[in-house]
Amino acid sequence: MAAPRDVTTTEGARGTDGGAMTLSRHILESQRQQPRARGELSVLLLQLAFAGKIFSHALRRSALDRRLGPTGDRNVQGEATKKLDVFGNDTIVEAFARSELVAALVSEEMDEPRQIACGKRASYVLCVDPLDGSSNSDVNGVVATIFGVYRPARDVGAAATVAHVRSGRDQVAAGYIMYGPSTSFVYTTGGGVHGFTLDHDIGEFLLTHPSMQCPPHGPYYGANLANVQDWDEGAQEYIRHLTAGRDRANSLRYSGALVADIHRSLLEGGIYLYPADRRHPGGKLRLAYECAPLAFVLEQAGGAASTGTAAVLDTPFESIHQRVPFAAGSRDEVAIFERFIRERR
Per-residue binder mask for Mg ion (CB under 5 A), 112-131, x = binder = -----------------x--
Q: 268 is in the binding site of which of ligand AHM, Mg ion, none (Cβ under 5 to 8 A by kind)?
A: none
- HSE, side-chain direction, 13 A CA sphere, residue 81: 20
Nearer to ligand AHM, 132 or 299 (CB): 132
CA distance 218 to 64: 39
Q: 256 is in the binding site of which of ligand AHM, Mg ion, none (Cβ under 5 to 8 A by kind)?
A: ligand AHM
Q: How far is the CB of 121 from ligand AHM (least distance, A)?
A: 31
Q: How far is the CB of 111 from ligand AHM (least distance, A)?
A: 15
Q: 105 has which bridge partners? A: 114, 126
Nearer to ligand AHM, 129 or 268 (CB): 129
CA distance 224 to 273: 8
Q: 133 is in the binding site of which of Mg ion, ligand AHM, none (Cβ under 5 to 8 A by kind)?
A: ligand AHM
CA distance 203 to 52: 11
Q: Which helix (H) or strand (E) holds 74?
A: strand 70-74
Q: 338 is in the binding site of which of Mg ion, ligand AHM, none (Cβ under 5 to 8 A by kind)?
A: none
CA distance 207 to 200: 14
Nearer to ligand AHM, 122 or 144 (CB): 144
- Positions 298 through 317 that interact with Mg ion (CB under 5 A): none
CA distance 160 to 30: 25
Interface with Mg ion, residue 268, by CB under 5 A: no
CA distance 33 to 16: 15
Q: 230 is in the binding site of which of ligand AHM, Mg ion, none (Cβ under 5 to 8 A by kind)?
A: none
Interface with Mg ion, residue 338, by CB under 5 A: no
Q: How far is the CB of 279 from ligand AHM (least distance, A)?
A: 8
Interface with Mg ion, residue 40, by CB under 5 A: no
Q: 40 is in the binding site of which of ligand AHM, Mg ion, none (Cβ under 5 to 8 A by kind)?
A: none
Nearer to Mg ion, 132 or 338 (CB): 132
Contact region with Mg ion (CB under 5 A), list: 20-28, 97-105, 107-115, 218-226: 107-115
Nearer to ligand AHM, 219 or 222 (CB): 222
Nearer to ligand AHM, 128 or 206 (CB): 128
Interface with Mg ion, residue 170, by CB under 5 A: no
What are the helix and strand counts (H, E) for the chain?
7, 17
Per DSSP, the three-state class of 305 is strand
Q: 277 is in the binding site of which of ligand AHM, Mg ion, none (Cβ under 5 to 8 A by kind)?
A: none
Q: Which of 132, 170, 277, 333 binds Mg ion (CB under 5 A)?
A: 132
Nearer to Mg ion, 89 or 306 (CB): 89
Interface with Mg ion, residue 261, by CB under 5 A: no
Residues that bind ligand AHM (CB under 6 A): 79, 108, 129, 132-135, 224, 256-258
Nearer to Mg ion, 132 or 333 (CB): 132
CA distance 270 to 250: 9
* DSSP string of 94-120, one letter each residue: HHHTT-SSEEEEEETT-SSPEE---ST
In this structure, which long-range contacts are made by residues 134-139, counting pairs with CB atoms below 8 Å and at least 24 apart in sequence? 134/79, 134/82, 134/84, 134/85, 135/256, 136/255, 136/256, 136/257, 137/59, 137/62, 137/68, 137/82, 137/84, 137/85, 138/68, 138/69, 138/82
Q: Are strands 270-274 and 304-306 parallel, antiparallel or unpaired?
A: unpaired
Nearer to ligand AHM, 152 or 329 (CB): 329
CA distance 337 to 20: 41
Per DSSP, the three-state class of 90 is helix
In the complex, the residues that contact Mg ion under the rule CB under 5 A are 108, 129, 132
